Every structure is written in structure tokens, then in C-alpha cells.
Amino acid sequence: MSIADGMKDIVDNIEHSRTERIADVGEIRSGTQDMIHSFTKERKHNAADMRRTLRKGRKALLHETQDMLGGFSADRMAMAEDFTARLMKDVAEIRLDTVNMVHGFADERVARGIELTSMLKTYNDGIVQDVQQLMDDIKKQRIPFQEDLSEAHGIWQSHMGNEHPYARPGLKTVHKATKAPGKKSEKPDQSTDHGLKEKVLKVINNSPKGITLTKAGKKIGVEWRTLIRPAKDLLKVGDVRKKDTHYFPS
């Protein structure tokens, strides 16, 4: 075989191979187009099925949502009605309790007012009675106090020998007798003093609660100032004892 024949065979082989490749490429292109067409058709079919499924699902979901909302609305209304009923019942009970409490407070206030008025009246009556008792005691004690004051005033005047410039009106005073010139004072009768002393001692011994010279003079029937010296003598010898203006048995 010559070189030319060999080259021709090579060219023929290349051309044949090229023809085969072109045929193969055509087949591949045709298969690819068929595949793409099939994919496109199937995708459209699937898309249509998906759209139908989505529409059905959306409708079903919409119905379920509406049913759920309707159920929620019904439950909410039922709960609202129940809550309103309970609230109205509680309000009515609270109102009734408040009214009863107000009436109870009013009754308690009236009762406390009556009790307080009674207590104040009792307290006021007690104060009035205490004041009256105190006034009565003062009146009772004023007489012996005046007598004691009179006796003390007489004793003071017997020591001073003349009347005090501020002496109370109506109180008798004792003036010392003025000695006559050239004459000696007469001595008191000792027997008279002794008898008067005995009478004073007897009156004091019969008065265990004590007695003033004013009362003792009234019992003996003499001016109480005449009892000052005998009482002083009895005190010196311890036959009687004295506290303030009262004389007591020893």
C-alpha cells in the first residue's frame, strides 16, 4: 500500500469517525431534548398537582382556622358570661356585706354612745357626790378649826398681854389687869385653881379622842381661857398630853 492510500484511509477513518461522532452528538442532543421535554412536562404536571394540593390544604386550613376561631369565640363568650355572672354575684355579696357592716357599725356606735353617756353620767354624779361630801367635810371641820383658832389666838394673847392689831373681829381678848400704884397683886386662890384643874383633867380623861380647851370650857361651864393655866400645869406633871390644839389622856 502506498503512502497515498494510507493517507486516504486515515482521512476516511477520520471522516467516518467524525460522522459517527456527529451522529452520536445528534442522538445525545435528541435524547437530551426528549429528557428536557419530559422533565418540563412532568414539572408542569407536578406543579399543577402541587397547586391543587396547596389549594386544598389552604382551604382545609382556612376551614380549620375558622372553626378554631369560632370555637375560641364561643368559648370566650361563654367564659365572659360566666366571669360576668361570677363578678356580679361577688359584687352583690360584697355590697350586702358592706350594708350589713355599715348597719353593724351604726348599731355599735349607738350602743357605745349610750354606754359612754351612761359612764359619763355616772362619773359626773360621782364627782358631784365627792364634791358635796368634800364640802360637807369642810363645813364639819370648819367649826372645830374656828374653835381651835380662837383658842390659839387666846393663848397667844395671854402670852402677849394685849390684843393683836390684826385680831379677828368678834374674838374676845384678855387684857392684863393694870397694877395699881403702891399695891401688890393679889395671889390667885389656890383651892379654886386645884378644883378647876381636877375638872379639866376629868374632862380630858373622858375624851380619849382628844378635846380642845374651847369644848372643855363649854362642858365645864367656864370661859375656856381660864383653862389655859390648869391645862399647862397638867402638861407639866404629865397627867395629860397635847397634840396641836387637842388634849389627850396620858
- Residues 78-94: pLDDT tens digits? 888 888 888 888 898 89
**In the chain, where the domains are located:** 1-141, 191-250
Strand partners, 30: none
* Whole-number pLDDT of residue 157: 62
* Whole-number pLDDT of residue 190: 53
Element spanning 195, H or E: helix 190-205
Q: pTM here? A: 0.30
Closest CA to 88 of 100, 98, 80: 80
* Whole-number pLDDT of residue 155: 63
d(CA 187, CA 179): 13
Element spanning 105, H or E: helix 3-160
For residue 108, give the amino acid letter.
Answer: E
Chain segment 165-216, per-residue pLDDT in tens: 444 444 444 444 334 444 444 444 455 667 889 999 999 999 999 999 999 9
CATH (residue range 191-250): 1.10.10.10
First to last CA, the chain: 196
The three three-digit cell numbers of residue 8, written as one number: 486516504
